[in-house]
Structures are given as structure tokens and as C-alpha cells.
Structure 1
Amino acid sequence: MKEVRPIDFRKELKLFIDFPHELYKDDPNYVPELYIAQRDLLTPGKHPFHDHSKVQLFLAFENGKVTGRIAAILNNNHNAFNNSSDGFFGFFDCVNDQETVELLIGAAEKWLKEHGATTIIGPMNFSTNETLGLLIEGFDTPPVVMMPYNAPYYLELLENAGLKKKTDLLAYDVPYDTHNDRSVKLLDTLEARLKRSNIVIRTINMKNFWEDAAKARDVYNQAWSENTGFVPMTEKEFHHMAKDLKMILNPDFCLIAEQEGKFIGFALGIPDLNQILIKIRRGRLLPFGLFKLLTGMKKIDRLRVLILGVVEGHRKSGIEACLYGRIIKNARRHNIKGAECSWMLEDNYLMNNAIEQINGVVYKKYRILEKSI
């Protein structure tokens, strides 16, 4: 017998978080999420998303065994910012069974309709500010840090359940040995030109980390405001993210473009922790996972350029090239062998062209799906 029901949060949250470990136990490219991070993300009172929005978690069962999971998400800030009535689904994983998928999507749709949504969009965990997208190309390598992973059969199952493409997201591979040196060679010239406009590129000041982080949030909310599905980060959400990132941050990969003290752009690259997490069983730091994490940090040889944006009015002035060039130059000093630039909207031609100019190549694609309900 197959059924989908809301979880008993106190008793079944662990089941919800752990289901992907069972589903992908024989997949060499699967990277388990850290249990403690997933638990805090999903728990009201632990993550600031729950201060303004609602989430309902569902599990699918067949004869008492978990066969799938999904989260129905009502993002009130998204709907207020975009003047919409969208609902979202996320944390979606399932066995290769059409009936199970339709039961999961049906449960999420029903809950969202009851809360006033007229569209279901996903997967998103919880918004464009967190992990999102369905992997549709590039199943041959593990995901990098904070990027999703799923089996190839997901797309067909979801399309058969009535969902259609909304947009695609791109991940670019920029290998150390083939990237174009142009942005590095021109770096001094470009930065000299920017200085004539009183624009400087600098690393984040770790002594004034929170002051810089607050200004970076303003740039983030401005630079990405016109992107599909964007919702501004609240002060508490940005603080929560920055607090986590600070623990692994290398200032050489957190760069700020500043004009007379005003932030007009910034870029953030983070080490690919997934090179370590892939070895941590079921995402548990204890008893041995923490040791693997601490000892493995120095061996990471890949970077994810997570954020790079410039505010309107300063684009196409060379700032983007300077930020990329400085990151590439700094990466050499830290023995980084390559980077992933992700994710990029497929129609963000300005930024995609900038990555392609340094020989970045699309090697993974992710899809956001939608359906009227």
C-alpha cells in the first residue's frame, strides 16, 4: 500500500533527512548533506526563513518503508516582493515510481492550494537564496558544495506529473590548466582604469567582517533583484548564511568592489567542501566526520564561485573581469586546480559571456519546473 502523509516532526524528521542516504547508497557521486545543517534548516526557530514563511514536510511510504519525500513551501517574502501567489516544492527525493511521485506532488499541491498558492515551482530548498534546481545534465561527477544532486529519472517522472520547464541554471567548469589568462594579464590595466573612477577592488576585512557583510547584503539584494524568482534576503537570513560561511572563508576569495566607500560589487568563492563531505557517512560529524572535515580542508583543490554581482550603473565597466581575474590570480597561490561558477541563469548573457571569456564551459545543467494548481 502506498501513501503520503505529513511527517510527525518530532518523531520523523530524522527519517525525512536520512532518506536520500538510503536512496543513493550505491551511487559514487552522491554527497550526503550534513545532518546537523539539514536539521537546523528545517526546524522552525533554528533558521530565519521560518520567521516569515511556512513549510510542510511529507513522506511517502509503501508497506511501511519510506519511498520518497517532499517539502511544500509557502514563501511569503517571495510572493510579496514579486506580487505573486506562488508555492514551491523542495527537498524532493523518490524511488523510480510514477505513482509515488504523483502522490508526493499531489500532497504538496493540496497543501499549497489550501494556503492560497496558484502555482507550484521547484525544486527549491527554500528559495533562490538556498540550494535549488533539478540536475538534468552532468551526472558523471559529484556536485560541488551547496549544489544539488539527483538521479537522472527525476525529470521524466516530474514531467509526467504535469510539471514543465520554467528556466534552466548553468554550472561552468573553469579548469586551472585551460582557463584564459586574459583577465589576469589585463588585471593591472583594468584596475588602474577603475581607480581613475575611484573604484578599488579589495578583499573583505575580517576584522570588520560584519560591517562588510552588511554592505555586501545590500549589493546582493540590488544586483540580483531582476533575476527570475529572486527574493531579497532578510538581515537575519544573511547573517545566518554569513555566520556559516565565515568558518570556511578565505579572504583572498571574498572580493569587494568599492567606490568612495560605497560597495558596488562583490564576489565570493568558497572551497569545495563536498570533496570531504562525500567521505562522511550519512552526513554525521560524530564520531569520525569532524576529524575528516578538519584534516581534509588543506587538501581541497577546487573552488566554487558562489556569488559575483555588480549593481546597476556600474556593469560593463570592467569590474566583473577584475573580480574574476583577481580570484584566478589568488587561486594559483593556493594551489587551486579548478573552479565551478554556479549557478547562472541561462539568459544572464552578460555574466555567462564573462565566464566563457576565461574558457569556462557549461558542464552541468539544472532545471526549475512549474505547474499551475
Structure 2
Amino acid sequence: MNAPAAAVVVVVADEGAAFADFLEVPYLVQGANPYWVPPLRAQQRQVLDRVGNPFFRHAEIRLFVARRGGVPVGRIAAINNAVHNQTHGERATLWGFFECRDDPEAAAALFRTVEVVAAQWGHDLARGPFNPSVNDEIGLQIDAFDQPSYVMIPGNPAWYLPLVEAAGYSKSVDLFCYRVDANSVSDRLRSLGPALVARGGIRYRKLSKADLDRDAIGIWQIYNAAWEKNWLWVHATREEFMHLVANLSQIADFDLAWVAENAAGEMVGFSVAVPNINEALIHIRDGRLLPFGWLWLLWHTRPRAITGLRFIVMGVLAPWRGKGIDLALNYLQFVEATRKGYTRAEMSQILETNLPMVHAAEALGGVRYKTHRMFEKRLRNPAVSG
């Protein structure tokens, strides 16, 4: 007769051994999945650094680990983002960093814990995953599980979807990933691109590495203005955005980042693509650069070793939309990418409701191949509902 399974225990994981378990869970759960791209442990620590990450100037996070028989089997974070709730007039607890073995009991316990915290905060809605905000990695992968994720895109096994749904969460919105191969870039873009670039009134140039801070401020202003009407968007503070720029600049290829300026020299649009560093990280299975991970990283990031790139963000100010600026920017990126030996790209994560970006991806010859989903659940909070 089999002994009964050990009970699931959920513990606070903000520090010490429990925090170490929190960081370890993804490798325990997904380590055997050859399509999973392990995050660098140093990068995980940086994201969760309450002092170093400016996101936590206006947000609170509580970390939890589920253990069965003393062994970590899952994790989750509850997030109280004051700016999000002020912007959207909600009382929402956001959740993220969810990882779990195919263990419905453990997953249910993790989500119950988040909902208890939500009640303590006086919230009546739970939504996620945010890792930890809309300006970071978001979404749960729901298909294409045999396709490794591109840089800054989360990946997970198929069993996560039923675990989340079993906890009472339903679809909020889907985000699409489009695959673009160099030989499938649309004839329309190839033929229209040169004329769009040559059109008067707009000057196109690469992002300035020498004057990155100045250009980054211009992009930040467009980023917030161009995206403010998208689903549950929250403006990135200047400090948050510059923190993101500092991180991206470590992997950036400045030939793939372009801006558009009007006749007065004012920035009116931009598009940024970055090399798919995940092609290297997938070989560092334990997420550690030491003692030998850095050798793998050097080898797999040697010139032309990375052949994919991700179109990570684009924005055009409202008065300048519909003038082909987005296509011109993409064309210039395509020309540079081809010259430098990139053979494929991903445009992601595009909201299903963001039709201009959907059309831009299709105009580039993109084929939708992967979907991430955001979930939400209404909570009965006695403090709110009475």
C-alpha cells in the first residue's frame, strides 16, 4: 500500500533559505525541458531586488514557495502595484513568477495564498502573470511548447494552463508572437520600403550609442504616449525606463534600433530590435555564469552565432501614424539585419486588440505561431462587498 503523499505547505519566501528555494524552483520544475530557456540567476535576483529595481518605489511584492515533504514544488508572487491601481481605478492584486510542477494541489495552494494577500490589501481582483509589471515579462504560454522563447519572453510547459484555469482564472487578453523569416519578408515591404524612407519630412537614423541617454529619454516619452491606450498599460517612470535601457544596452545591436525625426529634429517614432540572446542562454542549463557558463555565453554570442532577433518595442506618436513610418522603420531594420547575418525574427508580444501592430507584423511577412495569455479572477472580498 502506497504511503499518502506529504502535505503541501506554502511559506513566505522573502529571504533566507525560502528565497533561495524561490529562485531554484524554475530549474527544478523545467530543467528537463529542452525547449525551456533558463533565466540567469543573477538576472532573477536583479529583477527581485527591492532596492535596485525602481519598480519597487511604488510597488510591494510578497514571494511564496510551495513545498511538499520539504521539497520545493512551486512558487508565486503577489504584487501590489499602486500606480497600476491608480491608473485604472482598480483594486487589483497582480500575480507573477508562477512556476509549479504538475501538482494541482500545490498550484491551488499558491493561488489561494495570493487571494488571501489580496483580501489583506483590500483588493477584489487578481490578475496575472506579471513578472513583475506590464513593462517586464508577462503572460502564460498556451501553445507552441516545442518552440524556445525569444529574449524577454516567458516560457512554460503545457500543464500550467489547466493549473491556472483550475484555480478559477479565465482569459483576460491574449498576446501574439509572430515569426518572420528573412526569405519570407513581404514583397510589399521590399518594394515600398525605399520610397517610404525617402519620403520628405522625416529623417531616419540609428539610435546613438554615444548619446544613449538623450535618445532614451525621447523613446521613453513616445513609449508612454503611444502605448497609453493599450490594455491595462501603466506608464513607466523615467527611472524604470532608464533601468530597462541599461539592461538592454548590454545585449543591444545598435544597428537594429532606429528612430524617426520630423523636420524640426523632434523624435516622432522608434523601433527597437535586439539579438535573441536566448540562443546562447538555452545552453546554460543551471542559469549560472560560473564556473563555466560564461564560456558557453562567449561561444554562443561570437559574431554571427546568434541568427535570430526580436522586435521588442515600437512606437509612433499619434499625429504621425498612418504615414508609413512604422513600415519604414521595419524596412531599415530588415536591411541591417540581413546585412549582419540575421535570418529570422520574432515580433512580440502583440496584444490581440492592437490591430495596427498586428497589421505591421503581417506587413513584414510575419506568421503568428505562439500565444501568451493573461488571466484574471474576481474575488469576494468582505471588506469591499460587505
Change (3 A) 1:8 1:121: closer
Secondary structure in structure 1 of the residue aligned to 2:286: helix
What is the distance in 2 between the residues matched to 1:361 and 1:315? Answer: 23
Deviation above 4 Å: which 4+ runs of structure 1? Answer: none
Moved more, 177-186 or 126-135: 177-186
1:293 aligned to which of 293, 297, 300 = 297
Report the alpha carbon displacement of residue 155 of structure 1 after superposing the two structures with TM. Answer: 1.1
Q: Work out whether 1:339 is the aligned partner of 2:339.
A: no
- CA distance in 1 between counterparts of 2:49 and 2:9 reads 24
1:214 aligned residue: 217
Are 1:60 and 2:60 matched, yes or no?
no
Aligned pairs for 1:183-198 (under 5 A) are 183-193=189-199, 195=200, 198=201
Q: Do the aligned residues in 2 keep the contact of 1:184 with 1:326 (CA within 8 Å)?
A: no
Q: What whole-Å deviation, never above 9, does each CA across 1:90-143 have from its counterpart, x for those lacking one? A: 000111122211110010111122112211111110111000100011111110
Q: Which amino acid aligns with 1:348?
A: N
Tell whether 2:366 aligns with 1:363. Answer: no
Which of 265, 268, 274 is 1:264 aligned to?
268
Q: Distance in 2 between matches of 1:49 and 1:112?
A: 19
Q: Distance in 1 between matches of 2:195 and 2:343?
A: 25
Whether the 8 Å CA contact 1:71–1:108 is kept in 2: the answer is yes
Indicate conservation of the 8 Å contact 2:129/2:138, yes or no.
yes
Which whole-Å CA distance do the structure 1 matches of 2:203 and 2:190 have between them? 16
After TM superposition, give the deviation of residue 281 of structure 1 in Å.
2.7
Distance in 2 separating the partners of 1:113 and 1:322: 49
* 1:248 matched residue in structure 2: 251
Secondary structure, in 3 states, of the residue corresponding to 2:224? helix
Q: Is 2:105 aligned against 1:99? A: yes
Is the 2:168–2:377 contact (alpha carbons within 8 Å) kept by the matching residues of 1? Answer: yes
Contact 1:145/1:274, CA 8 A, preserved across alignment: yes
Q: Is the 8 A contact 1:18 1:282 kept in 2?
A: no
> What letter is aligned with 1:212?
D
Contact 1:31/1:274 (8 A) holds in 2: yes
Paired residue type of 1:158: V
Offset of residue 226 of structure 1: 0.7
1:266 corresponds to which letter in structure 2? F
Question: Which residue of structure 1 aligns with residue 158 of structure 2?
Answer: 152
Q: Select 1:225's aligned residue among 207, 223, 228.
A: 228
CA contact (8 A) 2:31 2:285 kept: no
Flag structure 1 segments of 5+ consecutive residues without an equivalent. none
Identity among equivalent pairs (%)? 36
Q: What amino acid does structure 2 have at the position aligned with 1:56?
A: R
Deviation per residue, 1:241-264 (Å, 9 max, x gap):
111111221121111011122111
Q: Trace 1:69-218 onto structure 2 (pairs within 5 A).
A: 69-193=75-199, 195=200, 198-218=201-221
Give the C-alpha shift of residue 14 in structure 1. Answer: 2.0
By how many angstroms is 1:8 displaced? Answer: 4.7
Q: Distance in 2 between matches of 1:254 and 1:5?
A: 43
Q: Is the 8 A contact 1:164 1:370 kept in 2?
A: yes
For the 8 Å contact 2:59–2:80, the answer to whether it is kept is: yes
Using a 3 Å threshold, how does the CA distance of structure 1 residues 158 and 292 change in structure 2: closer, same or farther?
A: same
- Separation in 2, partners of 1:76, 1:8: 20
Per the normalisation by structure 2, the TM-score is 0.94
For 2:347 and 2:84, locate their aligned partners in 1 and report how far apart those are by CA, in whole Å: 25
Q: How many residues are paired up?
A: 370
Secondary structure of 2:135 counterpart: coil
CA gap of 1:8–1:45, structure 2 versus 1, over 3 A, is closer
Shift of 1:325: 0.8
Tell me the distance in 2 between the aligned counterparts of 1:219 and 1:176.
Answer: 28
C-alpha displacement at 1:192, in angstroms?
2.3
For the residue of structure 2 that corresponds to 1:70, the secondary structure is: strand
Kept in 1: contact 2:141–2:156 (CA 8 A): yes
Gaps of 5+ in 2: 1-6, 380-386
Counterpart among 306, 326, 331 of residue 332 in structure 2: 326
